[in-house]
Amino acid sequence: MGGKIIRIGCASGFWGDSMIGAPQLLRQAKLDCLIFDYLAEITMSIMARMRAKDPNQGYATDFVAVTMKRILPELARSKVKVVSNAGGVNPAACAAAIRTMIAEAGLDLKVAVVLGDDLMPDIERHRSALVAMQVGEKAPAKFMSANAYLGARPIAAALAGSPDGRGPDGRGPDSRGADIVITGRCVDSALALGPLMHEFGWPAEDWDRLSAGSLVGHILECGAQATGGLFTDWRDVPGWDAIGYPVAEVSEDGSFVLTKPDGTGGLVSVGTASEQLVYEIGDPAAYRLPDVTCDFSAVHIEQVGENRVRISNAKGRPPTDSYKVSATYMDGFRAVAHLTIGGREARARAERSAEAILTRTRKIFQMMNLGDYRAVETEILGSEAMYGPNAAAGALASREVVMKLAVSHAEKAALEIFAREIAPAGTSYAAGTTGFFGGRPSPQPVVRLFSCFIAKADIPLALDFDGTAQPLTLAPVKTGGEGGPTGKPDPARLPGGPQVPGGPQVPDPARLPGGPQVNVPLIRLAWARSGDKGNDSNIGVIAREPRFLPAIRAALSPEAVKEYFRHLCQGDVVRYEWPGIHGLNFLLKDSLGGGGIASLRNDPQGKAFAQMLLDHPIPVPIEWGLEP
């Protein structure tokens, strides 16, 4: 990794992340760029509700009032660039608030806003051009928000100070680039790819480098998840209270070293980096982004020092000619009630309490002509409810549980009745009932997600450097089909061949030693992490040693994983090979009860799915000497 190095740190992985990230990275890491990722599908739903109540809201307010207020003087001194999607559904208002703060502080910092992702101003014209991701799904009658996932090129243009997209050579209308770039909805990885395209001058059709830069962003985008947060081997991760936030030291060829500031907690290892690599990925050979179709199947991760791993060998192909669109719409109301129940047979008594509440309220609904619930979800927390039929026998005998009863209904009045009928459980139903968390539940609007595509040519982009939008013209690039220029993935880059260039060979299942076997839980053989995309979940499984992969593959067929999650997964399970990290990736379709805030489940994003799968028994040779 010789030559020029660009250092990018990520201080926020979601809206609500710790306030320690930004000052830590600015104080303890020598950075060129600091990125803040705030957006997820749930976050966009929340921000859409904010804007509906107040047209000046709809962005991450704490990014402005807390974070930027603290670090603006240091940004002016250090010249570190900031790129953030904190703009949410109202990036112009977010930027205006920051500009006011800069002026009041007497600082010289330039703020640019990327515009064009918000389709709502012209949504009826766009309606006929929207193509649903799920075949047969229809667009809602009324949208609450609709935002296209933009790419990295507008960010690069903003950093160049060039609304015409011509680069940092002073030929644009404003030759000074932005110090702070605020976007609305863009793909998370673009927050890092944009600065890298600007700094290295990567052309828009250098697919391998664009894929590599997107991988930088993908690894960084969830903050401390890459530096030991949520790691399977949690006992190996020191200093959770002072966990270090991630830094990528990127070379011009796109390879990079992942690390964290010295003296901080956390862990950067092959395992932590691999877990973040698999997070929220479908097919690792065809990860589609606005700027490039990424092939991460042969990505190589190696430990090169203490808390330093080198990540390389991302490949790319042309992108499609469409943007993904995340749209939201109102779809009735929901309410969630919690009661704690203690004593013998607590689970059975909690289940009966939930049944009594539902039966009583349904009778009231009938008397008032309100109709039935749209959906009901009863979970007895503390008894391994999420495991369903896989729950341990001992969990069913727990003497302390929480009855979580979530319901949805078309009418708010029905849920107000439901809310009133929770408290009577304290005198009418099970002995030992207590813990009315938060008091009477309040009905909340259900904001549901509609995912679709729209042609890039239909989306006019713009940059705003001073409160005035200026059209952004990006030179057209070659686009491909679903998987590449011909509509099919390049066979040379698909996993499963005799040798993937730069990556390891896929182990042959026939090489698994014969002889007596013993069942061990998957956690003895692998790391794993799960993520969500809409109503689908993925579980990435990474073998701790290459020799373990054949046993994992043999036991974890798509059918076996489907059976294990049959109480949660309503769709198919698809398995992808991931030879670069000796892994497998499972996509569980229709597995989150609607996903996001539309789901009534306690785990609407499948965060615990990987940990649940790590209990799955795997037959292995006794000679391996692994503990059952």
Q: Is 90 exceeded by the pLDDT of residue 494?
A: no
Q: Is 70 exceeded by the pLDDT of residue 509?
A: no
- Region 372-388: mean pLDDT is 97
Complete DSSP assignment for 9-53: EEEESSTT--TTHHHHHHHHS--SEEEE----HHHHHHHHHHHHH
To the nearest whole number, what is the mean pLDDT of the chain? Answer: 92
Q: What is the pLDDT of residue 136?
A: 87
| CA 244 distance to own-chain centroid | 20
Q: What is the pLDDT of residue 379?
A: 98
Q: Work out the pLDDT band at 172, boundaries 50, 70, 90.
A: very low
Poorest-confidence range of 130-144, 483-497, 499-513? 483-497
Q: What is the pLDDT of residue 163?
A: 67
Strand partners, 405: 337, 378
Q: Is 90 exceeded by the pLDDT of residue 506?
A: no
- Region 105-124: mean pLDDT is 96
Q: Is 90 exceeded by the pLDDT of residue 132?
A: yes
Q: What is the pLDDT of residue 453?
A: 97
Distances (CA, A) of 584 to 274, 282, 525, 539, 546: 12, 11, 13, 8, 12
The CB density around residue 380, as the number of other CB atoms within 10 Å, is 24
Q: What is the pLDDT of residue 504?
A: 38
Q: Which amino acid is at 23?
A: P
- Region 145-156: mean pLDDT is 96
Q: Is 60 exceeded by the pLDDT of residue 247?
A: yes
Q: Is 70 exceeded by the pLDDT of residue 168?
A: no
Rounded CA separation 410/368 (Å):
14
Q: Work out the pLDDT band at 511, boundaries 50, 70, 90.
A: low
Q: What is the pLDDT of residue 573?
A: 98
Per-residue pLDDT of 18-43, as tens digits, reads 999 999 999 999 999 999 999 987 78
- Region 346-352: mean pLDDT is 97
**Single pTM value for the model:** 0.93
Which CATH code of 3.90.660, 1.20.120, 2.30.30, 3.30.70 fits the domain covering 332-448? 3.30.70
Strand partners, 132: 452
Rounded CA separation 316/306 (Å):
30
Q: Is 70 exceeded by the pLDDT of residue 54?
A: yes
Per-residue pLDDT of 581-627, as tens digits, reads 999 999 999 999 999 889 999 999 999 999 999 999 999 999 999 98
Poorest-confidence range of 51-65, 239-253, 437-451, 478-492? 478-492
Question: For the stretch 333-344, what's the b/e string if a residue is b when 16 or more beta carbons lie within 10 angstroms of its beta carbon?
Answer: bbbbbbbbbbee
Alpha helices, DSSP H, located in 368-493 = 412-420, 425-428
- Region 155-161: mean pLDDT is 96
Poorest-confidence range of 48-57, 306-315, 495-504, 554-563? 495-504
Q: What are the two backbone dihedrals, phi and then psi, of residue 115, each rounded to the nearest 5 degrees?
A: -120, 155
Q: Work out the pLDDT band at 134, boundaries 50, 70, 90.
A: confident
Q: Is 90 exceeded by the pLDDT of residue 628?
A: no
Q: Work out the pLDDT band at 175, boundaries 50, 70, 90.
A: low
Q: What is the pLDDT of residue 164?
A: 56
The CB density around residue 465, as the number of other CB atoms within 10 Å, is 20
Residue for token digits 């007895």? 380
Q: For CATH 3.30.70, list the domain ranges present in the chain.
A: 332-448
Q: Is 70 exceeded by the pLDDT of residue 486?
A: no
Q: Is 90 exceeded by the pLDDT of residue 85?
A: yes
DSSP label at 476?
-
Q: Is 90 exceeded by the pLDDT of residue 124?
A: yes
The H or E element that residue 78 is part of is helix 69-78
Q: Which amino acid is at 372?
A: D
Per-residue pLDDT of 530-551, as tens digits, reads 999 989 999 999 999 999 999 9
Cβ–Cβ under 8 Å, residues 227 and 272: yes
Rounded CA separation 586/539 (Å):
5
Q: What is the pLDDT of residue 169?
A: 39
Q: Work out the pLDDT band at 170, boundaries 50, 70, 90.
A: very low
Q: Is 70 exceeded by the pLDDT of residue 120?
A: yes
Q: Which pair of tokens denotes residue 85?
A: 């999607």
